[in-house]
Homo-oligomer: A and B are copies of this chain.
Amino acid sequence: MGRTADYSNESCTVAATLEVIGDPWTLLVIRDAFQGVSRFEQWQERLGVARNVLAARLKSLVRHGVLEPQVYSERPLRHEYVLTRKGKDLYTVLLTMHGWGAKHLYGESGAGVSFVHKSCGAELDPKLACGCCGETVRPRDLEIRRIAGLRTVGEVLAKDEAA
Residue in B20, B98, B144 whose CB lies within 8 Å of A113: B144
CB <8 Å contact, B125 and A131: yes
Q: Which residues of B contact A3 (CB under 8 A)?
A: 3, 24
Q: Please count how many residues in chain A sit with their CB below 8 Å of the partner chain's CB atoms.
A: 84
- How many angstroms from the CA of A93 to the CA of B137 in the assembled complex? 12
Q: How far is the CB of A127 from chain B (nearest CB, A)?
A: 5
Which residues of B are found within 8 Å of A102, using beta-carbon distances? 13
A51: Cβ under 8 A from any B Cβ: no
How many chain copies does the complex carry? 2
Contact B157 A113, beta carbon cutoff 8 Å: no
CB distance from A76 to the nearest CB of B (A): 31
Residues 90 to 129 of chain A near chain B (Cβ within 8 Å):
90-106, 109-120, 122-129
State which of B100, B110, B124, B134 has its C-beta within 8 Å of the C-beta of A17.
B100
Summarize A's interface: helix, strand, loop or mixed. Answer: mixed
**Residue A74 lies at the interface, judged by CB distance under 8 Å to chain B:** no
Q: Are B14 and A105 in contact (CB under 8 A)?
A: no
Complexed CA–CA distance, A94 and B117 (Å): 23
A128→B22 CA distance, assembly (Å): 21
Q: Which residues of B contact A95 (CB under 8 A)?
A: 128, 137, 142
Please report the C-alpha to C-alpha distance between residue A135 and residue B125 in the assembled complex, in whole angstroms: 11
- Looking at the assembled complex, report how far the CB atom of A108 sits from the nearest CB atom of chain B, in whole angstroms: 12
